[in-house]
Amino acid sequence: EIRLSLVGSEMCIRDRYQRRVRGKMATRKIKIAIDGPAGSGKSTTAREVARRLNYVYIDSGAMYRAVTLKVLRSQVPLTDKEKIVEVAKNINIQLLPHPTKTHILIDGVDSSEDIRRPEVTQNIGPISSNSTVREILVAKQQEMGKEGGIVMDGRDIGTVVFPDAELKVFMLASAEERAKRRLKEYAAKGGDLAAQTYEAVLQDIITRDKADEARAVGPLKKADDAVEVDTTVLELDKQNDLVHELAVKRIAQSSS
C-alpha cells in the first residue's frame, strides 16, 4: 500500500511537471519580420498583429527619432558624426506595448510624444543616414528581440535584422494601388489634393522602390523563406487577419 501511494505521488508530480512544460511551450513567443515596399501596409499590419498577440512592436523609425531627440537635447552638432555615434551607443531606448500605441522611453523617461515634435522630424536626416548609428540600432533591436515576442517591419528585417525570425512575411502591392493609398492618406490629413497629382505620386513611389532596392546598406529584399502577401486587392482587416493567422499557426508549430 505504501508502495502504491509513492507511485501515485510520483505520477502526480510527473503529470504536474509535464503540464508545466506544455504550458511553457504553449506560450513560447516568436519573432515576426515583415518586409515590403512603402505603402504596402506593412507597418499598419505589424502594429495590429503585435497588439493582438500582446507582442512588442519594434518601431525602428521611433528609435531613430529617439536618438535624434537625445542629440538635440544634448546640443550635439548635427555635423559631428562621432558624437552622434556616442549618443547612439549610450542611449537607453525601451519600447513598451500598449493597446493603442507603443510607448517609447528614453533613459527611463516616456518620450512618446516628444519624438514626434517637428524639430525631430526636421533633423532626423543626419542620424538615419549614419551607417554606424544604423549598426548600433540594429544591434539594439536584435537584443530586444532575442527572447521573441516581437513584431518588426522594414526593408531588410527578415534578411539582416532577424534572419532567424520564425515567421517572415513579405508584403507587396502594385505601385498604382500604393499611389491611391497615399493620396487617400494625404486627403485624410487635410492635404490639398490639387497640389498632389496621381501621376506625380505614382512616379515618386516607383522611384523610391528602385532606390530602396539599390541601397548599399539594408536594401529592400525578400527573404528566401518569407511568405509573400499581395495586399493590392485586400481590405485592411483581411490583410491583418491573414498575417495574424500565419503568426498563430507558426507559434503553434514552434511550440509543438
Spatial strand order in the sheet of 167-172: 56-58, 150-154, 31-35, 167-172, 227-230
Sign of CA dihedral 70, 75, 77, 82: negative
* DSSP-assigned letter for residue 148: S
The predicted pLDDT at position 129 comes to 84
- Please name the amino acid found at residue 114: D
Sheet strands (E) in the chain: 31-35, 56-58, 93-96, 103-106, 109-110, 150-154, 167-172, 227-230
The predicted pLDDT at position 9 comes to 52
Sign of CA dihedral 105, 110, 113, 115: negative
Is 142 buried (19+), middle (13-18) or exposed (0-12) by CB count in 10 A? middle
78: which 3 cell numbers? 548635427
Decide: pTM greater than 0.85: no
Instruction: Count CB atoms within 10 A of the CB of residue 213.
Output: 12
10-residue mean pLDDT profile of the chain (256 residues): values are: 45 54 64 94 94 92 94 96 97 86 92 92 89 95 95 93 97 96 85 78 91 84 96 95 97 88
Beta bridge partners of 172: 230
CA distance linking residue 250 with residue 168, whole number of Å: 10
